[in-house]
A and B are shown apart, each in its own frame.
Chain A
Amino acid sequence: AQSVTQLDSQVPVFEEAPVELRCNYSSSVSVYLFWYVQYPNQGLQLLLKYLSGSTLVKGINGFEAEFNKSQTSFHLRKPSVHISDTAEYFCAVRVVPYNQGGKLIFGQGTELSVKP
């Protein structure tokens, strides 16, 4: 079975500082990897996804993530955060191929709080 662990439940950071949100996964088969963001009172929005190819994935709003197969990690980074990045961030995995159990499995979320 697959699982996702987001290592930090809350990450406070000052504006314009860099940030890394950590995500580790467990799976015996290949996976697709996703990061979603949820702003207050809104649904989830895709930030970026890794399907194959280059292990460094760039997403919206200046975020990027690096897939590390040996460490089974998919950490999310941004070099300089803004107040508007305050939100909850979810890492998710999905098994490849789909017929081996293709549902999207989410981590518990990391609350990013950007302070002025």
Chain B
Amino acid sequence: ETGVTQTPRHLVMGMTNKKSLKCEQHLGHNAMYWYKQSAKKPLELMFVYSLEERVENNSVPSRFSPECPNSSHLFLHLHTLQPEDSALYLCASSPDSTGTDTQYFGPGTRLTVL
């Protein structure tokens, strides 16, 4: 399997549930990212990890909790979400987190919070 994969592709959860999104990259990259894509809004960067260390956290509510156990895997743990958190969550990776490298995106997880 190549590129960046995300599971699940679709997720429906209630506001009291706890769930996790998984991202895996098979590109040998050192940096990984979580983005939120809401309808009619620009992509919002949520978290950046470089060599498994969080290097950026853009004022994301604590109900979103990232985890990067190694450079190939990235998780986004979700708990007590709100309906406005419904969106497409995209994972990306790049060789490193400096400016010139292309970011490679996964297909996303479509999250619906009821």
Q: Which residues of A contact B (CB under 8 A)?
A: 4, 9, 32, 34, 36, 41-46, 49, 51, 90, 94-98, 102-109
Q: Is B20 an interface residue (CB 8 A)?
A: no
CB pair A108–B100 under 8 Å, yes or no, is no
Interface size class of B (residues with CB under 8 A): 20 to 34
Secondary structure at the B interface, as helix, strand, loop or mixed, is: loop
Q: Which residues of B contact A (CB under 8 A)?
A: 4, 6, 40-43, 45, 48, 56, 58, 90, 92, 97-100, 102-108
Given contacts A4-B42, A32-B100, A98-B99, contact A103 B58 (CB under 8 A): yes
CA of A44 to CA of B56, assembled, Å: 21
Query: Across the two chains, which residue of chain A brings its CB closest to B56?
Result: A103
List 19 A-B pairs, Cβ < 8 Å.
A32-B99, A41-B107, A42-B107, A42-B108, A43-B106, A44-B92, A46-B102, A49-B102, A90-B42, A90-B43, A97-B99, A98-B97, A98-B99, A103-B48, A104-B103, A106-B42, A106-B43, A107-B42, A108-B41
